[in-house]
Structure 1
Amino acid sequence: MMHGQSKLKAEILSEEEIKLRAEKGQQILDSLDYFFKVRKNQVNQPEDQLAFSELMAKLCPEIATIYNYRREVLQTKFDHLGGLLSESKNIDIYKQLVKLIQSEFMLITILLKQHPKSYTLWTHRQWMVLRSQEIDQLISQINQENQFKLIEAIKQEYELCSKMLDRDERNFHVWNYRNWLSSISAFGKEDEFTKKKIEQNFSNFSAYHFRSKYFMKNYNQSENIIERIKTEQILGLLPLPFERLKQETELIQQAIYIQPKEHGVYLYHRWLVGVVQPFGVTKIEKVQNNSIQLQFNRPVTNVENSFEIFNQENVLKIINIKVEGIRVIISFEEQQITNLKIKIHNQIYENQSKETIISEDESSKFMVPSEINLTKNNDGFTYTNTIQQEFQNAINEIHKYLEENIDFIKQVIEEERENRFPYIQVLYLLQFKLRTQKLIDESKTNAIIKEALQHCEQLKKIQNDHQAQFLYEFWSQF
C-alpha cells in the first residue's frame, strides 16, 4: 500500500506479449520522430495541428514538447478568436472560443485520470487557467450588454482537486496545484478544506503540510501583520494570531490523541509550537574597542539590519556583522569605549512598515526588541538589557503555551510508554522551552536540561538508534 493505494503486482509476460510491447514501443518512437518533423516544418493547418498533437498527447502524455507545440497552436487560435470577438461581439465567435477552452480542459481531465501524477499535464493545465483568466478579462471589457458569460475556470478547478484528492489524498501534484490556485484566487476556502481533510484522516500529512503553507501565506501578509500589531499589541508580531494558534493546537492535539503512533501529526505539532519561538540577547560575551560579541538564545539569521550602536550618544558606524550560530559579532569603527548602547530593532513593530514582510523561512523568528546599556572600565564591563514589559508579557505567554504543550505530550507518554514518538516530541518541545526560559530566567534552565536527559534515557531504552543518540548528545552538550 502507498498513500492508501494498492500496489500492482509485477506482471509476468509471455514471449508474445513482450514482442507486442516491443512493437508498440517502436510505433511510439516512429510517431515521435514524425511529430518532431511536423513540429519543425509547421506543415499543417491549426485544426490539423490540434488534432495531431491531441493524438500524440494521448500516445505520449509525458513529453513536454508535445504540449509546448499545442500551446503555440492554442495561443494562435485564442488571439485570433479574441480579436474577432473584440471587433464584432458576435455570439458565434464567443461560442467557438468557449468550446475551444472547454474541450482543452476536458482533454486534460481525461489524461489526468489516467496519469494523475504527470508534471507536464499539470503544467499545461496551469497554462490553460491563466489563458482563461485573460479571456475572462477580455469578455468583461466587451460585455456591456451582458450577452456573454465568463469562463470562470478557477472555480471548477477547485472541484477537480477535491475529487482527485478523494481518490488519492496524498497526491502532491494535486496539492501543489491547489496551492498554486489559492495563490491566484480566493475561492478555495483552504482553512475549511484542509481541516476537513485532516478530520477525515488524521494521518494525512499532505493536508498538514499544505495547511502550514496556507497559514504562512495568509497571515504573514504585511497588511495583516500591521493590523495585528494594533489589535493584539506585541503578540500581533507572532507568525499566527495567538488565539488562532491555540485553536489550531487543539486540533492537532486531538489528532495526536487519536493517532499517537502517526509520525506526521507530531511533525505538524512540532512546527506549530515552534513557529512562535522568540529570540533575543541573553549575554554579552566580549567587548573590545572595535567589536562586541552578543549571544542569543537560539541560532539567528538575517539580522544584519537590526542593530544600532552608540558610544556616549554618538552613532558608531558598523563595519561588519558576523553571525556564528547563536553568536553575533559586530565590528565598528575603533574608538575608546566608555558607555555603549546597543539597540536591537524589530522593524515591523517599530516602523510598522508594510514593505517589511516575514518570509516563510523567517516566520518563526519573533525578534524581541532590546536596548542594552553597557559600561566599560578597568575592571571589565557591566550591562543591563532593557526589554519593555509588554514584550516580557508576550514571552511569558509563549512560555506558558510551551509548558501546556509539554504537559500534553507527557500525558501521551503515560498512555504510550513504548511509543518512541512522544518521547522524541517532548525532547524537541523542551528545546523550545529552554530557549524561551533563557529570556526569562536563565538560572532555571538546568532543570529543563536535567529533565530532557531523563527523557533521553527512556528513549534509548525504547529505541537505541542514531536519532536517540543524536538527541542524547544534543542535550549532553549543555
Structure 2
Amino acid sequence: MNPTPLYSYASDPAWADLLPLPQDDGQYPLAQIAYTEEYTEAMSYLRAIMAKNEHSPRVLQVTAHIIEMNPAHYTIWVYRAKTLFALSATGEVQLGRELEFLNDLALRHQKNYQIWNHRQTVVEAIAAAAAPAEQEQLVREEKEFMNRMFEQDGKNYHVWSYRQWLVRRFEAWDGELSFVSALLERDVRNNSAWNHRFFVVFGGGGMDARQQGEGEVVEEVVEREIAFIEDAVFIAPQNASAWNYLRGVLKKVHRPLSSVESMCLGYAPLDNPDKITSSHALDLLADIYAEKREEHGKAVKALELLAAKFDPIRANYWNYRVGLVKASV
C-alpha cells in the first residue's frame, strides 16, 4: 500500500498568492532543529500569512495542520483564536464548531495545556453572545465532555483546572458534589478529585458551601464531610489524600486536631503497635499530642514508631520532629 501523499501548499492554487517565509535561524545556527519537510512548509506559509495579518478560512486550515503536527505551539493557537473571532464576527464561522475540533484533539493529546487554554477563550466568546438558556446548555455539554476525559484519566490536571474555571465562571455548582463523590467511589485515592471536593464544598456557592454568621460553615456540612472522610479512610487507611483532606477541613472550620483523636486511634493505637494500619493517623496523633505538654511522651512515641517502623524512609524527618517536641518541654 502506498503512503498517503503529503499535502503541498506550493501546489495548491489557493496559496499561490503567498511567498513562503522560511525560518531565519541566522547564518550559523548553533542547534538547528531538524523539522520535517511537511512542518517546515506549513510554517513557512503561516509566517507569510501572518506577515499580512490575514484572518481568513485558510488560516484555520494551516493552523489546524500545524496543530496536528505540534499541538503545543502557543503562537499558532493565539493566531488561530484571533482569526476565529474575526471570522465569527462576519458570520463566516460558527464558534461551536471549534469545540468539536478541540474535542478530538483533547482526546488524542491528553496532557496538552494549550488545548484547554484555547477552549476557555472560545467558550468565553460563545457565552458572551449566548442567552442564559444557551449558556446552561453550553456548560452541560462541557461537563459531559470532561466526564469523557476523566474516564480515560481521572487525574488530568488540565481538565480539572478547566472544570474549576467553568464552574466558578458560570456558577455551575449544581451536581458537582455528587459528581466528585462518584469519582471518589470509583477511586478513593484520586487526589485531584479530593481537591475538587474541597473546592466545591468550601470554595464555591450553592448548598455545598452554605455559610452562616461570619464565614462559619454550616455544621451539617462539616459533619457530612467528616463522615465521608471516615468512610474513605475505612476503605483505604493508608490513603494520604483522605487524611490530607481531613486536615484541610479541620483547618477551614477552625476545629482542633484533637477532635478526631478517637478516629486516629482506631487506625494507630499507640498501646498496640502491631494493630497500626495507617502511618498518616500516627502522624496526626503526633501533632495532636505535641500540642499538649502533658502528652508529649505520646507524641514522641508516635514519631519514633514512624521513624523505626511505619515510615523509615523519612526517619531523619521524624527524628527531627522528635527533637522539636523534646526541646519544647
Q: Say whether residues 1:241 and 2:100 are aligned partners.
A: no
**8 Å contact kept, 2:72–2:113:** yes
Aligned AA (1:55): H
Match of 2:165 in 1: 180
Shift of 1:55: 1.7
Match of 1:375 in 2: none
Q: Say whether residues 1:150 and 2:134 are aligned partners.
A: yes
**8 Å contact kept, 2:74–2:114:** yes
Paired positions, count? 286
TM-align CA RMSD:
2.7
Greater RCO (CA < 8 Å, at least 6 residues apart): 1
In the alignment, the residues of structure 1 paired with residue 263 and residue 220 of structure 2 have an alpha-carbon distance, to the nearest angstrom, of 18
**8 Å contact kept, 1:270–1:429:** no
**8 Å contact kept, 1:406–1:430:** no
**Secondary structure in 2 matching 1:150:** helix
Q: Say whether residues 1:70 and 2:54 are aligned partners.
A: no
Aligned AA (1:52): V
1:9-408 correspondence runs (5 A): 25-42=36-53, 46-81=56-91, 100-137=94-131, 150=134, 152-188=137-173, 189-218=175-204, 225=211, 228-229=212-213, 237-238=215-216, 240-277=217-254, 398=255, 402-408=257-263
Q: Percent identity?
A: 17
**8 Å contact kept, 2:194–2:245:** yes
Match of 1:469 in 2: 319
In the alignment, the residues of structure 1 paired with residue 205 and residue 120 of structure 2 have an alpha-carbon distance, to the nearest angstrom, of 25
Q: TM-score, normalised by structure 2?
A: 0.78
Shift of 1:196: 1.4
In the alignment, the residues of structure 1 paired with residue 200 and residue 278 of structure 2 have an alpha-carbon distance, to the nearest angstrom, of 31
Could you tell me which of 271, 274, 280 is aligned with 1:421?
280
Unaligned runs of 5+ in 2: 1-32
Match of 2:15 in 1: none
Match of 1:14 in 2: none
Shift of 1:187: 3.2
Q: TM-score, normalised by structure 1?
A: 0.55
Shift of 1:220: 11
Aligned AA (1:198): L
Unaligned runs of 5+ in 1: 1-21, 82-95, 141-148, 230-235, 278-397, 435-444
**8 Å contact kept, 1:413–1:423:** yes
**Secondary structure in 1 matching 2:204:** helix
In the alignment, the residues of structure 2 paired with residue 37 and residue 258 of structure 1 have an alpha-carbon distance, to the nearest angstrom, of 60
Deviations 1:367-405 (A, max 9, x none): xxxxxxxxxxxxxxxxxxxxxxxxxxxxxxx45xx4441
Shift of 1:104: 0.8
1:424-443 correspondence runs (5 A): 424-430=283-289, 434=291
Would the alpha carbon gap of residues 207 and 422 (structure 1) be closer, same or farther in structure 2, given more than 3 Å must change? same
Q: Say whether residues 1:449 and 2:296 are aligned partners.
A: yes
Shift of 1:101: 2.1
Would the alpha carbon gap of residues 174 and 195 (structure 1) be closer, same or farther in structure 2, given more than 3 Å must change? same
In the alignment, the residues of structure 1 paired with residue 305 and residue 206 of structure 2 have an alpha-carbon distance, to the nearest angstrom, of 39
Would the alpha carbon gap of residues 135 and 28 (structure 1) be closer, same or farther in structure 2, given more than 3 Å must change? same
Shift of 1:416: 4.6
Shift of 1:26: 4.5
**8 Å contact kept, 1:205–1:264:** yes
Q: Which has the higher helix share?
A: 2
